[in-house]
Amino acid sequence: MSHAATHDASALGAAHPQTQEGFDFGTATSGKLGMWIFLLTDSMSFGGLLLAYGILRSGSHNWPDPSTRLGIPFTAGMTFLLICSSVTMVMALAAAQEKNKKQLLFWLGLTILGGLLFLSGQAKEWTELITVKGMGLSVDQMSATFFLITGFHGLHVFTGVTYLSVIWIQSAKGKYTDGPKASANNIEVAGLFWHFVDLVWILVFTFIYLI
């Protein structure tokens, strides 16, 4: 191999270093790229559901006013809680980057708690809508689309809580803070999913509850 070829190969290796998480293209590790691709495809699922909701609603002449059925103030509180959980997720990532195990566990725990409280609020809301307001999948289009879309999002919140719980257990073992090779990359990837779930809920809340 010539000297020029060796130099080019070395430059290529330096430009695209391989890490324990995979190939690092600048600051985007394979884990981040994989999560971004997943979120892109998942956003299409939510987009399709919201588009179908909009088409059904615009084509209906007797669509119920959401304020007459849905508890908007209560759900607004749930929305604020979910937004706060995004803030605690940011704090958890910052603690991991500083290799502060105690703060990481604290902020990550608050994020998980926020997700659990949101799910509890959604369960309470669904129970009241079904038992008191008489809503259900087979009642009308408004009820069917409401339960389908909010349920699909709730499944994402449950997945996120489970995901973050696994991260919390690994954090308690020092995986992301102890030792010179500890990396916050996995926490950042989990944070991308959690922020996506929070952002989607803001859209769901706006389209279904407020408009």
181 located within any domain? yes
pLDDT at 197: 96
pLDDT at 122: 95
Exposed/middle/buried for 126, CB within 10 Å: 0-12, 13-18, 19+? middle
Write down the pTM of the prediction: 0.82
62 located within any domain? yes
CA–CA separation, 6 vs 3, rounded Å?
A: 5
Q: What residues of the chain score a pLDDT lower than 70?
A: 1-28
pLDDT at 66: 83
pLDDT at 2: 45
pLDDT at 22: 40
Residue 195 domain boundaries: 28-210
CA–CA separation, 162 vs 7, rounded Å?
A: 47
Burial 78-94, CB ≥16 within 10 A → b, else e: bbeebeebbebbebbbe
66 located within any domain? yes
User: Which CATH number goes with the domain that contains 131?
Assistant: 1.20.120.80
1 located within any domain? no
2 located within any domain? no
DSSP 3-state assignment of 23? strand
Number of domains comprising the chain: 1
Whether residue 40 contacts residue 193, with contact meaning beta carbons closer than 8 Å, is answered with no
59 located within any domain? yes
